[in-house]
Structure 1
Amino acid sequence: MPHATPARASGRPRWWTELPLIAVVYGLYSAGRLLARGNISTAVDHGLEILRLEKTLHLNIEHPLNRLLTTHSSVGIPADFAYASLHYLVTPALLLWVYRRRTAAYRAARTWLLTSTLIGLVGFTLMPTCPPRLLDAAHGFVDTMAQYSSYGWWGTEASAPRGLGGMTNQYAAMPSLHVGWALWCGVLLWRYGRHPLLRALGVLYPLTIVFVVMGTANHYFLDAVAGAAVMGAGALLTRPVMRAAASVSARLRALVSRRYPSGAGVPATPSPIVSGGCETSAGERIPGRRTPSAHSSDAPRASGKPGRTGAGDSAPAAAR
């Protein structure tokens, strides 16, 4: 996992700035998936090309895994629940855990996740891909999510709740961010988990998700490989992205300080004395200030010594 730069490692980011940032990036990701639907026939062609390549390389392990899940409901139903939920529960939970327990590592972990997610969005846009479950039945795949839909909240359109299938892009299969995010979680658990059980989960969780996405016929093996590659690219870009973000932030602060310097709104030159140029009424005195209108009898009492007066000594005796 990439390390935080020393300049940014100190101090926990404010949660009220982190939540909007993560929400905006996730919103862009979700909206981008919908906008990147592409042509269905093109997506099917991409899916078939991946399947042919896997058969050539003897990597098409999706078929036996899919048969295992469709034949044994005791395996297929938990796998469907895992596909429909863990992606959206474990990832934010670990992000919060790092935020609370590993402050120095949080910025790098968050930047790595968000950068990789945006790279994945580029992949969805450039290569819309039909998942195995949506291929013609002649290719031998069964949609386990549809087969066991009566056990869960999803319908026949991936893991989306029933009636909300239009809010997801079922052809955003390449790369698999289910696998990518699971790998991110695994690295954090392995690196920062103190208990051996947490480190073991760091290895088992990504492997489990790879099994799940292929067994449910939601992804090809090469989708999983691409998901891992996207996370690798995000890890390499984390430090440059953090430096660029710090530079932009510094420039914005400098711009704001020039526009609104310290003490903005206060006149640069001292304000004139309130009574300057004005005459006071008879008997009026400004606190802490001797004026020519003061009576001579006040001066000795103010100074405490007879015969010593203030600024009014130069005035004629009659005026005093």
Structure 2
Amino acid sequence: MTRPSRRGIEARRRMVALSMLAPTLTGLLLFFGYPLVASVFYSFTRYNQLQAPQFVGLLNYRFMVTADPQIFTAARNTLWFVVVLVPARIVCALMLAGLLARAKTAVGFWRTVFYLPALVPPVASVVAFVFLFNPGTGPVNHVLSWLGIKGPLWFNDPAWSKPSLVLLGVWVMGDMMIIFLAALLDVPRELYEASSLDGANGVQQVRHVTLPTISPVLGFAAATGVIAALQYFTEAAIASQVASGKITVGGGSGTDLGYPGSSLMTYTQLLYQHGFANFQFGYASAMAVVLFLTTALVLVLVMRRIAVFRPENNS
């Protein structure tokens, strides 16, 4: 009986590996690869799903840059959430995780208390926050009035609507807090002891020990946060609809999209409006392609910034 050759063994191993990866690869091709290729194709067409796609070249992209009156407002609002919401969640979650890591009593209780808001469904949490911050009947402004402070209009004021959603994002940061807590508890105590012997204070230990050690976790939090912020849809859409009193799928008409004063109109809301309310699927596909490329570019920049805190760059 002849023994199988080395080449045959390697081929058999590859077939076994591919057979195990087949379900995942099939899912990626069907639910990521095909939609991506189809979006790129439809972005060069005029398409409403009722008629055959009509090739128009770069017309959709040209219209996006030169003629769409809402695109830059939506992009600016989305960029605001990326710049403000993501760092606010990371900083607050990291600080809270640091406090819990040093806690001595009732640690399990406090971890549960701060994690529970993350389990609330997004729609329910937004509706609750709009009620709490209602300028006329909400308890938040009532408490502020007892302290002699005139509360703002919150979700009904263009200047306060986005900060109100930042407060909501910080309130539901329990998922990120748990990840940071696990990373902080995994930092070797010997590193802190060695840095103390070298004369490092608390701030220096955080800068040269804690942050470099948990830099992969920081990178993960920043990357996922940026992706979520660039696709920010549910919270902004529900908040604007509940605050305006017009509950309609997709944000209603283009006139009240992003109430108040288009301050909560994000890029994905406008994409949804064009694609599923106005049936401009070609233009919506072009917006989706631009969003994909922007997300990839921003992630590269974010990961290069996070790399500054890696141990090899702080030696």
Is the pair's TM-score, using the shorter chain for normalization, greater than 0.5?
no
Please, what TM-score do these two structures have when normalized by structure 2? Answer: 0.23
Please, what TM-score do these two structures have when normalized by structure 1? Answer: 0.23
Q: Which has the higher contact order (CA 8 A, sep 6+)?
A: 2
Instruction: Decide which structure has the larger Cα Rg and report it.
Output: 1
